[in-house]
């Protein structure tokens, strides 16, 4: 075994025997990575990953070393104390599972805490596992807070090394420089090694970015199915989303200030959506709607603020790119 192989395996422990992940035609699996922490508004990424493991046949493939990859002083684990002694501790985890969709087609899911340390070595380790299991496509999941209403279906944007493969999914449409994440680096490095790599970002109402928002999780998994052909169950997420919607509506009802904000977001969303449909374009021409460049600039500003304010320590976004609950003009949180 060469030095690189030793280094790859030093970051994870592999289960033996390894599960079979090629389909009946001998085609290798899709790798879905769902790293929570930096871009997981509404906990949509974590919820989607947990749902896949719970709803489908799942088998552990590899466990990554938290001691090697996580800065515990940046994201301190939670420890339980019963009044006399410490009883339990919840340590961050990062694992890869082999999962089969409802049609029996296997895929790999890399999910858990985004690494704080050794990003390049982490990516190299993941690439080694991808080579081992014959991975063909790599798709990353993200969730970002945006000025969208909870009363409309979650929107999504996509990017990737093969734009044609993204089909009709909307794109950002503008160039930008922004703080990186391990998920972004993984997408870049995998594409540099000729994997078809893509990323999906679902838009979460920024006034709900710290609450569980299963509607966004369902939209992410639906988009994964569109790109890969995987048959992923989302009924449970849809049911959970309906319950959350009822709770939010109850909080909003009767609060004139919040209702006015939601109504304004609905009008913007509907006008923008109508413009998309009429022009078959991501960009709306009306001056009162954000252009692709404006969206990109706001996203870049938001991510920079998260880095400056320590927002990367757990994905708890306090404000969205268009103003948050505590900013003048931003909607107060109904939750």
Give the mean model confidence (pLDDT) for residues 61-68.
Answer: 96
Higher pLDDT, 24 or 146: 146
Tell me the two tokens of residue 150.
Answer: 């909870």
Integer Cα distance of 259 and 255 in angstroms: 6
- On the question of pLDDT at 181 being above 90, the answer is yes
The mean per-residue pLDDT over the stretch 236-252 comes to 94
Whether the per-residue pLDDT at 257 is higher than 90: the answer is no
Of residues 199 and 308, more confidently modeled = 199
**CA-based nearest residue to 12, from 100, 123, 172:** 123
State pLDDT tens for residues 79-126: 999 999 999 999 999 999 999 999 999 999 999 999 999 999 999 999
pTM above 0.85, yes or no: no
Residue 240 — pLDDT band, cuts 50, 70, 90?
Answer: very high
pLDDT confidence of residue 8: 44
- Pure H helices in 134-205: 182-192
pLDDT tens readout for residues 269-284: 898 888 777 654 444 4
Residues in CB range of 143: below 8 A, 6 or more apart: 39, 40, 41, 42, 43, 44, 45, 201, 202, 203, 204, 213, 216, 220
Q: CB atoms < 10 A from the CB of 87, how many?
A: 10
**Percent of the chain residues topping a pLDDT of 70:** 79
Question: How does the average pLDDT of the chain come out, rounded?
Answer: 83
Q: Shortest CA distance to 221 belongs to which of 139, 147, 166?
A: 139
Q: What is the CA radius of gyration of the chain?
A: 20
Structural contact between residues 81 and 87, judged by C-beta atoms closer than 8 angstroms = yes
User: How many other C-beta atoms are found inside a 10 Å radius of the C-beta of residue 76?
Assistant: 11
Instruction: Name the pLDDT band for 174 (thresholds 50, 70, 90).
Output: confident
């Amino acid at each position: 075994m060469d030095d690189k192989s030793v280094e790859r395996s030093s970051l994870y422990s592999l289960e033996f025997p390894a599960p079979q992940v090629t389909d009946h035609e001998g085609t290798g699996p899709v790798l879905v990575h769902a790293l929570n922490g930096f871009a997981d508004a509404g906990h949509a990424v974590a919820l989607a990953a947990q749902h896949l493991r719970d709803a489908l046949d799942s088998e552990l493939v590899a466990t990554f070393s938290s001691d090697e990859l996580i800065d515990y002083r940046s994201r301190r684990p939670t420890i339980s104390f019963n009044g006399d002694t410490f009883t339990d501790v919840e340590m961050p985890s990062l694992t890869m599972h082999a999962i089969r969709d409802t049609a029996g087609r296997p895929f790999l899911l890399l999910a858990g805490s985004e690494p704080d340390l050794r990003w390049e070595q982490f990516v190299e380790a993941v690439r080694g596992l991808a080579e081992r299991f014959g991975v063909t496509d790599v798709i990353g999941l993200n969730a970002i807070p945006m000025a969208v209403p909870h009363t409309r279906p979650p929107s999504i944007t996509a990017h990737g090394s093969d734009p044609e493969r993204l089909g009709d999914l909307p794109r950002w449409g503008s160039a930008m420089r922004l703080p990186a994440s391990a998920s972004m680096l993984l997408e870049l490095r995998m594409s540099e090694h000729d994997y078809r790599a893509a990323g999906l970002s679902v838009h979460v109402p920024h006034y709900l970015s710290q609450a569980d928002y299963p509607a966004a999780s369902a939209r992410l998994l639906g988009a994964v199915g569109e790109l890969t052909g995987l048959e992923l169950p989302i009924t449970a997420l849809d049911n959970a989303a309906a319950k959350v919607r009822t709770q939010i509506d109850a909080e909003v009802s009767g609060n004139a200030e919040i209702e006015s904000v939601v109504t304004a977001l609905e009008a913007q969303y509907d006008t923008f959506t109508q413009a998309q449909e009429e022009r078959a374009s991501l960009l709306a021409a009306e001056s009162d709607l954000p252009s692709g460049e404006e969206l990109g600039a706001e996203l870049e500003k938001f991510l920079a603020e998260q880095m400056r304010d320590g927002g990367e320590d757990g994905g708890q976004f306090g404000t969205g790119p268009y103003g948050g609950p505590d900013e003048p003009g931003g909607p107060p949180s109904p939750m």
